[in-house]
Amino acid sequence: MARVVSVNISEKKGTLKRAVPEIELKLRHGIVGDAHAGDWHRQISLLAEESVDTMRALSPIPLDPGVFAENINTEGIDLKHLPVGTHLRIGETEVGVTQIGKECHNDCAIKKAVGKCVMPTEGIFAVVVKEGVVRPGDEIEVLK
């Protein structure tokens, strides 16, 4: 079973996200209270905990949830191989995948410390399709 490991937000762009007990997803907005919210194609970022684990083995610094600026850490789902257009049920919500990976910022703290960052190749982005609340432990289902 795929599930949510952590949910993370930041109030300002360019800062690390921090784990919170829950996040609220809103249509045409993204995550309430997150700096990257807005009516655009990258409302929510997701990163597999398995990807973070590969970086933990290389990193001289702790890699806590949100360190890659991801909103949702997952477990048990191969995010990086989901095609754009895939819909995911996450707890009571639904999101649609809009982008796989992104360009890494040259001044990325993780890239400087470790030499590479997984978000550009293994992170995914989505928009809210069905509103609701997401919490750690919520089940994730790939919808057909």
Judge whether 121 and 101 are in contact, CB under 8 Å.
yes
End-to-end, the C-alpha distance of the chain in Å comes to 16
Judge whether 44 and 127 are in contact, CB under 8 Å.
yes
How many domains does the structure of the chain reveal?
A: 1
Output the pTM of the full model: 0.92
Q: Closest Cα partner for 48 from 138, 122, 141?
A: 122
Question: Bridge-partner residues for 141, per DSSP?
Answer: 89
Rounded CA-CA distance 75/108 in Å is 24
Torsion sign across C-alpha atoms 129, 130, 136, 138: negative
- The domain spanning residue 133 has which CATH number? 2.40.33.20
pLDDT tens-digit profile, the chain (144 residues): 999 999 999 998 877 799 999 999 999 999 999 999 999 999 999 999 999 998 888 888 788 998 888 999 999 999 999 999 999 999 999 999 999 987 766 666 666 666 677 887 899 999 999 999 999 999 999 997
Domain range holding 36? 2-143
